[in-house]
Structure 1
């Protein structure tokens, strides 16, 4: 089968012919990929940002936003059958550790992360587990929902955590309206009554944000922090969801957060440099977010199949994976790039 493989960091991947994965364990599931999302994390992998954290051996196949059809199953799999349409939670988990038992399976002590620390789904087939599979309506096209498996669940997970803070009359700033941010806007609209202010440096992204439910939009032109402070009567927002968190955006996000407010860090790529006195004197919170739980993805799919959350995508054949990565890196993708093997 064809697969997008990283052979060396700081070099572009190649599209190789590799053996198809096979079922070995009783709970294994092999999925024929119908859609694989292209994420900024894939760029960070190529840049070697994840190497020390994962210890993955090169070469390997990237791609951690995956949906498709069940191709083969292990002897103990009972929740899906061959031919079922599925979206995959990004981390197959054990189901036995304390985190899994508590429903916090993103922190499973025995999980794998296809596309991050083992072979992923930018390929024709992917090996996963029964615990990662969410069965979809047979009429769902995997390429239309694949990015919900990471971009979607990550945005939804952050909104789900922030929702109790966003009672009517509050303001939430969405910093970045790209692949994750455009889903975050819709999730906020579905779960809260907060005033949604979207900040982005791209006017087209702001136009999309308005269509998706943003109450106000602000162009990131160097004066955007002051503009947000003006909108919030000088106070800042109760919650800032930072879907960028690099190239200075992370500092702006903290500056747009009000006293006792919460700065949710979702994007990444740069350090946050804040004097500790500015944290303690204002009691602002900085909260990390890593993907989300199986239940987060299941809830998000309910919203998606009800039409309350939709993905805006640009589709590429698997053979054009390098074009998709280049377009993402250059900011030419509105919404999410999807590979269709």
Structure 2
């Protein structure tokens, strides 16, 4: 197929429309349950009160704000794929925004700004500060919407659009984008990821920096766990190792969520607390730190995670029985093995390192008589 034909074919999959809608109409759609702004996303979008106030100020002053992208489902409902924070801020100001448990957010109280110092203390329900005629004018302000229309139940165009619109920005980390995708694609899998990351032994074994914690690196490790135990050795040998690791993890997780193997998911869920109880009882917070010069040192090292987890998953029963005699020494010896040294050489691409270490791990922790 030529480039011209490929473009024509793919354009058929993207049915897009655009039009303005008043804030009052948007509020009614939301109240009627016809607009999903994903309240669960609020834990990832970190706007403070000043940023929220600036958005409301922009609307009051007639300053254009970027268009909001939504996916129109087969049943006609709108699913917001970009603009969650803008819409959530507006709905919170209107005092109609609800949390994912159905309870209402506290009303948004605005701050004074350079251009509108009288905004300080203004909230929607206080008609002494925000007059009825000002409310009417605000609800008549227009927002621009771009609508991507889904063509079938398994249409994935909105997920692709979400990634393109959010990748490269400063407001979301790569893992936070994956978290949002999981909420959109397979909320049960996202809830499983959260359940696993709350495991006490896992937390003790993976001490994170403040930045890592804020960017949800703990959930990235959960994603890696779920994917690593799924990859076959043949698949590891065949993947394009020149790809970006972030893109690879996102695409693989999306595939995992859409084509879930219930047996593997159940096995992964059952083994996770056992693996981290075993690791915590043997080496605790040192387990994923490099062993060098007779001691464990440095931060949590991803190469250590990749060298330990896949092999333990396959041989967990054996290592639970032999943890006292062999496991600590087996982990210490990882860092002198030629396979580990070769995989972690400077200049080795992240996917190539991952592939080599997963295969190494399965051999290194294999069952022994």
Indicate whether the TM-score tops 0.5: no
| TM-score normalised by the chain length of structure 1 | 0.27
Instruction: Say which one has the larger Rg.
Output: 2
Task: Indicate the structure whose relative CO is greater, using CA pairs within 8 Å and at least 6 residues apart.
Answer: 1
| TM-score normalised by the chain length of structure 2 | 0.25
- The structure where helix makes up a greater share of residues is 2
- The structure where strand makes up a greater share of residues is 1
